Chains A and B, each alone.
Chain A
Amino acid sequence: MSGPRTLFDKLWDSHQVVPETAEAPAVLYIDLHLVHEVTSPQAFAELGARGLKLRRPDRTLATLDHSTPTLPASGDGRRPYATPEAEAQVARLQANCRQFGVELHDWDSDARGIVHVIGPELGATQPGMTIVCGDSHTSTHGAFGALAFGIGTTEVGHVMATQCLLQRKPKSFAIHVDGELPAGVGAKDLVLHIIATIGVGGGTGHVLEFRGPAIEKLSMEARMTVCNMAIEAGARAGLIAPDQTTFDWLEGRPRAPQGAAWARAVSAWKSLRSDEGARYDREVRIDASKVRPTVTYGTHPGMAAAIDAPVPAATNAQEKRALDYMHLKAGQTMAGQPVDVVFIGSCTNSRLPDLRAAAAVLRGRRVADGVRMLVVPGSESVRRAAEAEGLHEVFTAAGAEWRVPGCSMCIAMNGDLAQPGQLVVSTSNRNFEGRQGKGARTVLASPETAAASAVAGRVSDAASLAAEEQAA
């Protein structure tokens, strides 16, 4: 193919084993397959039933994260699993990884953690790769200029057996982010703002490329937060072109190329950007300077607005149902709503800078009476780094619980959950009905806003909290 190409075109072209035709989808090669306990057992079983081997164990990496308890093991080494099924599911992954020769970051690994946190940390996630996982937030890895997307369990089996997938090429969608984010406004606010702008189904069938000056200024962790939530706009994947920030972040990580191979890799990665004049199927422009601390008020991530903006009136039955579920009325603001639980964690916001941001708000303050706050680092490596800086002491001194890494209250399948009717300010990515426990009401927010809300006992951004304290 000639002519200017988008970053996405380049990634697609270089991974087509068999090009797509009208009759058949492309056979797309997968460089890295990430595996966890929830979406893999049926795929391993299929492989076993057909007498197949795992084609490339060296391109497969597994971890325990979704159904794992976040309280430490007791003295006898027993882990407090929520149910015997959860424990059996973990045991099944351990057995499968042994049988099929897959590297598993098990309980004893110092790199275990949420699948989308550890891939980059280990340097397994690299620019120019195709990366899949039986998990929709695989889009996170797009922050490195990799084509990364979630797949179902049948496809997990396809990749295990053949290292390939049958895929039709999605469309491309450029999200140009101009200007500069105001002080106190971060990647989470930006991505919630973008989803509210293009809609919760606005990216369906598309790969989003986030680009422009405001994106280039973001740290790798912030870029991961943005790409993580591309799926919340329905997109197949999110992408950011790799640059010096990317290379600096990856250099020296265990699975990254080393020595001469590193120099060769970086020079190849530098071509991974959209060519001048490349055409996208859709484009939208976002002005970063207009973004304010943003939170959700409804039951999907597209129902988001500035924290002090009035909640819009419902325009259809579904929105009405959402407001009823959230116990909200049009015209109210999210700022000031009483809070029961605060959760800091998930593959969206559980990395070291996220924890630092939350700790900066909590330092010298206390979680309000009656509010339960959980801080769950994304990986063992984040946990160690945070503890080395004393962040865990800031959290516990403020009255928050400091936990063992895992998905925890993001998906609430490990026993960490909210009670019916409780309002949770959460740094995770989904505010669906019941996501954090049956009847639980989720408000998605940045780590700063979540921490400030814990102190205020009401939904609050950090600047308003400080201003109120000054006035008092």
Chain B
Amino acid sequence: MRPLTQLRSRTAVLPYENIDTDRIIPARFLTTTEREGLGRHCFTDWRYLADGSENPAFELNRPAAKGCGILVAGRNFGCGSSREHAPWALLDYGIRAVLSNEIADIFRSNALKNGLLAIVVSDAEHRWLLEHPGSELVIDVAGGFIELPDGGRFGFELDAFARHCLLQGVDQLGYLLQQEEAIRAHEQRHEAAA
């Protein structure tokens, strides 16, 4: 993973609550054995009409939403399955950050491991973001704040370890492999007892 310190982009808004992972990437595209190339199926059932053309009514198809790297979504974004294909699809589609007032646990963990910023903001901040699509924001990972177009700031919480991994591009598997001694000690303790 490459280090990620700051992200500057405009917001696109999907105001719906409980946008589940089947919505983000339907199961019929999960037969892939790769991580790449899922962006073309991202939000597919909202994004395309029955004849395969783009659905002009879908929020992310509107001209103003094109190229926006920050998605502002309704409460409980990413609920449902544990499929990591959901953050893979969003990243491949061009989304670098998701902001909501509640984000599902497994999705959030999967997203952060892939360098997709999944950030929870307060209800009031969420409301402002929903009401101001197209805002150019700066998300500062080190500082833990989002800078608004008028210079105002929304602070956000990010687990210290997740932040460290994002900033340094830390490979978490590498970190776990370094724990070998402690892992072996645990196995010896517990398997001897069994």
CB distance from B93 to the nearest CB of A (A): 18
Would you call B79 and A39 a contact (CB within 8 A)?
Answer: no
A135 touches B (CB below 8 Å): yes
Contacting residues of chain B (60-97) with chain A, CB-CB under 8 angstroms: 74-76, 79-84, 87
The interface-forming segment of B3-11, B30-38, B132-140, B149-157 is B30-38
Would you call A158 and B18 a contact (CB within 8 A)?
Answer: no
Among A22, A165, A413, residue most surrounded by chain B Cβ atoms (within 10 Å): A413
A435 touches B (CB below 8 Å): yes
What are 25 A-B pairs at a CB distance below 8 A?
Answer: A23-B161, A23-B164, A25-B161, A41-B34, A42-B35, A50-B173, A66-B30, A136-B81, A151-B82, A152-B83, A152-B109, A154-B173, A158-B172, A158-B176, A162-B176, A166-B161, A200-B18, A201-B76, A201-B79, A204-B102, A412-B27, A430-B81, A433-B23, A434-B23, A434-B45
Contacting residues of chain B (145-184) with chain A, CB-CB under 8 angstroms: 159-161, 164, 172-173, 175-177, 179-180, 182-183
Would you call B183 and A162 a contact (CB within 8 A)?
Answer: yes
Provided the pairs A136-B82, A136-B106, A152-B106 are in contact, do residues A413 and B23 lie with their beta carbons within 8 angstroms?
A: no
Q: Which 6 A-B pairs have the closest CB atoms?
A: A152-B110, A150-B82, A41-B33, A152-B84, A85-B31, A201-B76
Contacting residues of chain A (28-46) with chain B, CB-CB under 8 angstroms: 29, 38-39, 41-42, 45-46
CB distance from A341 to the nearest CB of B (A): 17
A119 touches B (CB below 8 Å): no
Would you call A18 and B31 a contact (CB within 8 A)?
Answer: no
Would you call A413 and B186 a contact (CB within 8 A)?
Answer: no
Provided the pairs A17-B179, A42-B33, A318-B16 are in contact, do residues A413 and B76 lie with their beta carbons within 8 angstroms?
A: no
Which of A45, A67, A318 lies in contact with B18, CB distance below 8 A?
A: A318
12 more A-B contacts (CB under 8 A) besides A42-B84, A153-B84? A17-B182, A17-B183, A27-B183, A86-B31, A88-B33, A134-B84, A138-B82, A152-B106, A154-B110, A162-B183, A201-B102, A413-B30
Chain B contacts to A: CB under 8 angstroms: 15-18, 20, 22-23, 26-28, 30-35, 45, 74-76, 79-84, 87, 102, 104-106, 109-110, 113-114, 159-161, 164, 172-173, 175-177, 179-180, 182-183, 185-187, 190, 194
The residues of A that contact B161 with a CB separation of less than 8 Å are 23-25, 166
CB distance from B102 to the nearest CB of A (A): 6
Would you call A162 and B80 a contact (CB within 8 A)?
Answer: no
In the bound assembly, the distance between CA atoms of A318 and B79 in angstroms comes to 14
The residues of A that contact B31 with a CB separation of less than 8 Å are 38, 67, 83, 85-86, 88-89, 413
Would you call A163 and B104 a contact (CB within 8 A)?
Answer: no
In the bound assembly, the distance between CA atoms of A212 and B162 in angstroms comes to 37
Would you call A92 and B160 a contact (CB within 8 A)?
Answer: no
The residues of A that contact B102 with a CB separation of less than 8 Å are 201, 204
Contacting residues of chain A (149-197) with chain B, CB-CB under 8 angstroms: 150-155, 157-158, 161-166, 168, 170
The residues of B that contact A69 with a CB separation of less than 8 Å are none
Chain A residue at minimal CB-CB distance from B28? A413
The residues of B that contact A261 with a CB separation of less than 8 Å are 194
Chain A residue at minimal CB-CB distance from B33? A41
The residues of B that contact A134 with a CB separation of less than 8 Å are 82, 84
In the bound assembly, the distance between CA atoms of A162 and B184 in angstroms comes to 10
In the bound assembly, the distance between CA atoms of A2 and B18 in angstroms comes to 39
The residues of B that contact A318 with a CB separation of less than 8 Å are 16-18, 74
The residues of B that contact A42 with a CB separation of less than 8 Å are 33-35, 84
In the bound assembly, the distance between CA atoms of A154 and B17 in angstroms comes to 26
Provided the pairs A89-B31, A412-B28 are in contact, do residues A435 and B173 lie with their beta carbons within 8 angstroms?
A: no
CB distance from A373 to the nearest CB of B (A): 22
The residues of B that contact A300 with a CB separation of less than 8 Å are 18, 20, 79
In the bound assembly, the distance between CA atoms of A155 and B16 in angstroms comes to 29
Contacting residues of chain A (98-140) with chain B, CB-CB under 8 angstroms: 134-136, 138
In the bound assembly, the distance between CA atoms of A118 and B82 in angstroms comes to 20
A317 touches B (CB below 8 Å): yes
A208 touches B (CB below 8 Å): no
In the bound assembly, the distance between CA atoms of A18 and B176 in angstroms comes to 10
Would you call A430 and B80 a contact (CB within 8 A)?
Answer: yes
Would you call A39 and B82 a contact (CB within 8 A)?
Answer: yes
Would you call B76 and A204 a contact (CB within 8 A)?
Answer: yes
Which of A157, A163, A166 lies in contact with B175, CB distance below 8 A?
A: A166
The residues of B that contact A88 with a CB separation of less than 8 Å are 31, 33
Would you call B113 and A155 a contact (CB within 8 A)?
Answer: yes
Would you call B79 and A236 a contact (CB within 8 A)?
Answer: no
Would you call A164 and B18 a contact (CB within 8 A)?
Answer: no
Among A66, A89, A204, A236, residue most surrounded by chain B Cβ atoms (within 10 Å): A204
In the bound assembly, the distance between CA atoms of A135 and B83 in angstroms comes to 7
A411 touches B (CB below 8 Å): yes
The residues of B that contact A247 with a CB separation of less than 8 Å are none
CB distance from B71 to the nearest CB of A (A): 16
In the bound assembly, the distance between CA atoms of A302 and B179 in angstroms comes to 41
The residues of A that contact B186 with a CB separation of less than 8 Å are 17, 29
